[in-house]
Amino acid sequence: MYLKGLIVVVIFTIIGITEIVPLKKNKDKKELTIYTLFFAAAFVLMFLYSIGVEIPQISKGLNTIIEKII
């Protein structure tokens, strides 16, 4: 289980280095901030998923809302 987490960390580090470095060179802070936010969200969720933490399902939430409305 933790090996999967380690693989996720390694892969995200590689992607991060290859994509964030050119963004940093462009010196566009807005782009860098937005990229980092999305990237961090993806990393946290993927890491949690890889170590077996159950991520809340959007479809279940949608079902609950729609059933309440109907």
Partner 1 sequence: MSNKQGICLIILFMSSSSLVLSSASEARRDIWIAMLLGLAIAILIVAMYSRVLSRFPDKNLYEINISVFGRIIGSIINLIFTLYSFYLGALVLKNFSLFIGVVGLESTPLIVVSSAVIIIIIYGVKEGIEVLGRWSAFFAKIVFPIIIIVTLLMLNMVDVNNLKPILGDGIGPVLDGAFSIITFPYAELVIFVLIFNSKMFKGGNNIYKTFIYGLLLGGFLISAIVIGAYLAIGPFAYESSYFPIYSAVSRINIRDVLQRIEIIIAITFMIGGFIKISACLLACCNGIVNILKLKDYKFIVTPVSLLLLVISLSTYQSMLDMVTELKNFRYVALIVQIILPLVIFIIIEIKSRLSKSK
Other CB atoms within a 10 A radius of the CB of residue 36 amount to 13
Q: 52 — alpha (psi -120 to 50), left (phi > 0) or beta?
A: left
Radius of gyration of the chain (CA): 17
Confirm or reject binding of residue 46 to partner 1 (CB under 8 A): yes
List the one residue from 6, 10, 14, 42 that touches partner 1 (CB under 8 A): 42
Write the CB contacts of 9 (distance below 8 Å, at least 6 apart in sequence).
47
| Contact call for residue 62 and partner 1 (CB under 8 A) | yes
The residue from 6, 13, 45, 52 that contacts partner 1 (CB under 8 A) is 45
Q: Which residues bind partner 1 (CB under 8 A)?
A: 12, 15, 19, 23, 30-31, 34-35, 38-39, 41-43, 45-46, 49, 54-60, 62-63, 66-67, 70
